[in-house]
A = this chain, B = another copy of it.
Amino acid sequence: MTDTRKPSALRGLVGSRTRTLLAPRVTGQVRYTDDIHLPRMLWGRIVRSPHPHARIVRIDATRALAKPGVLAVITGKDMPERFGIIPWTPDEYPLALDHARFVGDAVAAVAATDERIAHEAAELVDVAYEVLPAATDLQTAIDKPEVGLGKGGKDNVSKEVDLAFGDVDAALAESEVVIAGDYYYEGSAHVPIETHCAIANLDKNGLLTVWSTTQVPHYLHRELSRVLRVPPTRIRVIQPPVGGAFGGKSEPFSLEFCAAKLAMVTGRPVKFLYTREEEFYAHRGRHPMQIHMKVGARRDGKLTGVDARTFIDGGAYSSFGLVTTYYSGQLLTLPAFADTYRFRSTRLFTNKPPCGPKRGHGSVQPRFAFEVSLDKIARALVIDPIELRRKNLVPPNTTTLNGLRVTSNGIEQCLDAVERASGWKDRFGKMPKGRGLGVATSAYISGTNYAIYPNAMPQSAVQLKVDRSGVVTVFSGQSEIGQGCDLMLAVLVADELGLDLGSVRVISGDTDLTPVDLGAYSSRGTFMNGNACLMAAREIKSKLVAAVAEKLDVDPRNVLVTRGALVVVHDPARGVSVTEAIQLAEAKFGTLGAVGHYNTPKLGGEYRGGTIGASPAYSFTAHVAEVSVDARSGFVRVEKIWVAHDCGKALCPTIVEGQMEGSAYMGAAEALLEEHVIGPDGLHKGPNLLDYRIPTSLDVPDLHALIVESEDQEGPLGAKESGEGPLHPSIPAIANAIFDAVGVRVDRLPFSPARVLSALRKKQADEQATATAAAE
């Protein structure tokens, strides 16, 4: 009876299926960045390079400036400062200074009195280019170092990571089976429904306010200051609710700098809104990767070694590429892994839109290669693929061979759950031809131990304001991008203080109002801000308890926070409402407010070539996908996906399930439909929503979200991430299900009808050849 730390049991909010706070989003009441209109606001438009690689010889804005309604034209010379999200690799300019590196690279920007004039004026900016040799695909970048897109111009290398753990060659040599394969991921885009938008306004106090669809308001704040050479104290970044991001808005973009600069130049507010075409060129989508992977195993299925050689198509700039390159190897060692490991990943620059982080950043592509390899091994050894994985699971509370410290680990329960729910034992390998099941697993980080820029300060912080009316306001720098992170903080605070959700407000993503959080990336939001929130809420709680104990004349240890009231443990009829407790505490201690902060525990060693992105906790996922394949057309239909995900603790199951379903949906889309193809001319094959296909609601598989809870020691009330991890297994589970259905492997994404049909025909031809040979 004295345990006051069991919120879910006692207060009933954590784990409940609340949808409070989400209503404005689903009823159209949310006002997005583009909904903001300021008096005298101008429209901006970026002039973009039509060449994949060119030197900018001259920019003549005369014709544009002569057009009525055009107020300003700026070029690279107006902001000659490099930036980049990773402090070690700044290689972009807001507007290209002297070289354009891809079709769509920003070279100038105009501001005009309306959108139409801005677009027309952009066409009137005359740019003289000297066209240069280009590498518009990965192979050319590998084969032609003389294009010189890399640092120093000697080659096209963006980043290389080469790490080994144990003697892989010896392990593979001693293996009973070694599966070697080549896997290719074409690259995909985020396709948020809301395209990038930014508005800037310089007020008469000299304060520059930038509203942006960013996922990293704090980082944008820093970079705006540095690039524009304006003190950070004169800049406010506001991130209105974002209409989808998925990693595609997690770094500064040209439009934010251009809006700010043009606002400073013209003295009027300026808005930029990317068209859908521009959105595809701005990109930062998932990297194309070419992976050669060898995986060895003993006869009993125990994995012996993994050897991976990966080439990563980075596009024109570094973006998060340094991290991508590490992640392409480092995040493979969970949940099942071999005894030895070596990977060498090389990211190359190409004259294509720059790639960056997309949901599941860095590890979706190698995960595909690895999980398909496991399926091949299982087939070779005639072991059930789920059993094969069970034999190789990394246990809880351990450290992987590459130094990932694992705390809670619910992968066994995840495998059990999908096995049971899918009827795996009765159906795998036993269904009619054309129908199949496939399994895959993965693990993902709950934030990283490394701040996005080196500093000793907290990674997340939350400030609470407690009002005597019973309202608690949570100020958090986190970025609500539709993932529901604001609701998570509300649940934590409400639960801790016994409030209902309608009494909690969350203000997020505003550098003037909210403490620093590093941004919505690496699945760090709820984990880090949640911990910060609990720290602050518990400080408030202790004051409420003390004030109530004094009022009721009992020992504070005997005061229990329940939903709506603080009561005496052994006499729950005695108590005061939370609002009254707040007023008692305010009278006793003064106005109530608190700051909570979070930093990851000091974990993760140094590795050759740098640090790794070790996380304070890992989520785990298992998928079983069921597909049907039409052998005549090669058309694959994903019928169902069972998704079991260890999220530590489901603070709000509705949100966790939404994330699981959304991730599996996105994985399935990448498996079957999405490909972000750039032609030899540097042009996107179809930068619009007719040609670039994402599944409509009619195309969505039947998704079954199975929550697994492992109550992690590091997470807020035990919670871990759920926003990215559930994506990874979709692609290999579907690939493996296709094999189960029709016996072919398609090791190149997406699994389009043409590719499947080609594989089926090849198989048929091979079988006929074999039969003919046997007959001869």
Q: Which residues of A contact B (CB under 8 A)?
A: 20-21, 23-24, 27, 29, 203-207, 221-222, 225, 231-236, 455-458, 461, 463, 465, 467-471, 473, 475, 499-500, 502-503, 505, 507, 511-516, 532, 579, 583, 586-587, 590-597
A-B pairs with beta carbons under 8 Å apart, 24 shown: A23-B203, A23-B205, A24-B203, A29-B203, A29-B204, A207-B502, A232-B471, A233-B471, A233-B499, A236-B505, A455-B587, A457-B583, A457-B587, A458-B590, A465-B513, A467-B511, A471-B511, A505-B512, A507-B513, A513-B513, A515-B591, A515-B593, A590-B595, A592-B595
Which residue from B207, B233, B463, B593 sits with its C-beta under 8 Å from A469?
Answer: B233
List the B side residues contacting A24 at CB < 8 Å: 203-205
List the B side residues contacting A513 at CB < 8 Å: 465, 473, 507, 513
List the B side residues contacting A207 at CB < 8 Å: 502
Shortest distance in angstroms between A417's beta carbon and chain B's nearest beta carbon? 34
Which residue from B471, B507, B516 sits with its C-beta under 8 Å from A591?
Answer: B516
Which residue from B203, B512, B532 sits with its C-beta under 8 Å from A471?
Answer: B512
Cα-based distance from A307 to B502 in the complex (angstroms): 56
Cα-based distance from A24 to B27 in the complex (angstroms): 35
Can you name the residue of chain B whose Cβ is closest to the Cβ of A35? Answer: B39
Shortest distance in angstroms between A228's beta carbon and chain B's nearest beta carbon? 14
Cα-based distance from A583 to B516 in the complex (angstroms): 12
Cα-based distance from A532 to B27 in the complex (angstroms): 41
Can you name the residue of chain B whose Cβ is closest to the Cβ of A25? Answer: B204
Which 6 residue pairs spanning A and B have beta carbons closest together?
A: A461-B591, A232-B469, A23-B204, A593-B595, A456-B587, A233-B503
Interface contact A590-B461, CB-CB below 8 Å: yes
Which residue from B23, B233, B502, B507 sits with its C-beta under 8 Å from A502?
Answer: B233
Cα-based distance from A591 to B461 in the complex (angstroms): 6
Shortest distance in angstroms between A254's beta carbon and chain B's nearest beta carbon? 23
List the B side residues contacting A469 at CB < 8 Å: 221-222, 225, 232-233, 235, 511
Cα-based distance from A135 to B586 in the complex (angstroms): 46
Shortest distance in angstroms between A304's beta carbon and chain B's nearest beta carbon? 45
Cα-based distance from A458 to B456 in the complex (angstroms): 36
List the B side residues contacting A222 at CB < 8 Å: 469
Interface contact B205-A20, CB-CB below 8 Å: yes
Q: Assuming A225-B469, A457-B587, A461-B591, what are 17 further A-B pairs, CB within 8 angstroms? A: A23-B204, A24-B205, A205-B502, A207-B502, A231-B502, A457-B583, A457-B591, A458-B591, A461-B590, A463-B591, A465-B475, A465-B514, A465-B515, A469-B511, A516-B591, A591-B595, A592-B595
A232-B470, A232-B471 known; A463-B461 Cβ under 8 A: no
List the B side residues contacting A471 at CB < 8 Å: 232-233, 511-512
Cα-based distance from A469 to B207 in the complex (angstroms): 14
List the B side residues contacting A595 at CB < 8 Å: 590-593
Cα-based distance from A398 to B514 in the complex (angstroms): 46
List the B side residues contacting A516 at CB < 8 Å: 467-468, 591
Shortest distance in angstroms between A638's beta carbon and chain B's nearest beta carbon? 34
List the B side residues contacting A594 at CB < 8 Å: 593
Shortest distance in angstroms between A63's beta carbon and chain B's nearest beta carbon? 33
Interface contact A512-B473, CB-CB below 8 Å: yes
Cα-based distance from A347 to B591 in the complex (angstroms): 37
Cα-based distance from A204 to B593 in the complex (angstroms): 28
Cα-based distance from A345 to B468 in the complex (angstroms): 36
Shortest distance in angstroms between A513's beta carbon and chain B's nearest beta carbon? 6
Cα-based distance from A204 to B235 in the complex (angstroms): 32
Shortest distance in angstroms between A450's beta carbon and chain B's nearest beta carbon? 16
Cα-based distance from A651 to B641 in the complex (angstroms): 67
A233-B502, A469-B222 known; A458-B586 Cβ under 8 A: yes
Shortest distance in angstroms between A564's beta carbon and chain B's nearest beta carbon? 11
Shortest distance in angstroms between A586's beta carbon and chain B's nearest beta carbon? 5
Which residue from B27, B204, B502 sits with its C-beta under 8 Å from A27?
Answer: B204
Cα-based distance from A514 to B463 in the complex (angstroms): 12
Interface contact B468-A465, CB-CB below 8 Å: no
Shortest distance in angstroms between A231's beta carbon and chain B's nearest beta carbon? 8
Shortest distance in angstroms between A197's beta carbon and chain B's nearest beta carbon? 18
Shortest distance in angstroms between A241's beta carbon and chain B's nearest beta carbon? 13
Shortest distance in angstroms between A548's beta carbon and chain B's nearest beta carbon? 15
Cα-based distance from A205 to B486 in the complex (angstroms): 14
List the B side residues contacting A590 at CB < 8 Å: 458, 461, 595, 597
Cα-based distance from A515 to B590 in the complex (angstroms): 11
Can you name the residue of chain B whose Cβ is closest to the Cβ of A590? Answer: B597
Cα-based distance from A457 to B500 in the complex (angstroms): 23
Cα-based distance from A23 to B505 in the complex (angstroms): 31
Interface contact A205-B591, CB-CB below 8 Å: no
Interface contact A455-B503, CB-CB below 8 Å: no
Cα-based distance from A575 to B463 in the complex (angstroms): 29
Cα-based distance from A573 to B532 in the complex (angstroms): 38
List the B side residues contacting A21 at CB < 8 Å: 205
Cα-based distance from A467 to B461 in the complex (angstroms): 11
Shortest distance in angstroms between A110's beta carbon and chain B's nearest beta carbon? 25
Cα-based distance from A221 to B467 in the complex (angstroms): 11
**Residue of A235, A532, A594, A595 with highest tally of chain B CB at under 10 A:** A595
Cα-based distance from A20 to B206 in the complex (angstroms): 9
List the B side residues contacting A592 at CB < 8 Å: 595
Can you name the residue of chain B whose Cβ is closest to the Cβ of A469? Answer: B232
Can you name the residue of chain B whose Cβ is closest to the Cβ of A593? Answer: B595
Cα-based distance from A465 to B462 in the complex (angstroms): 10
Cα-based distance from A597 to B27 in the complex (angstroms): 40
Can you name the residue of chain B whose Cβ is closest to the Cβ of A586? Answer: B457
Cα-based distance from A473 to B236 in the complex (angstroms): 11
List the B side residues contacting A458 at CB < 8 Å: 586, 590-591
Cα-based distance from A626 to B468 in the complex (angstroms): 51
**Residue of A21, A468, A583 with highest tally of chain B CB at under 10 A:** A468
Cα-based distance from A234 to B231 in the complex (angstroms): 39
**Residue of A234, A499, A532, A583 with highest tally of chain B CB at under 10 A:** A234
Shortest distance in angstroms between A500's beta carbon and chain B's nearest beta carbon? 8
Shortest distance in angstroms between A397's beta carbon and chain B's nearest beta carbon? 28
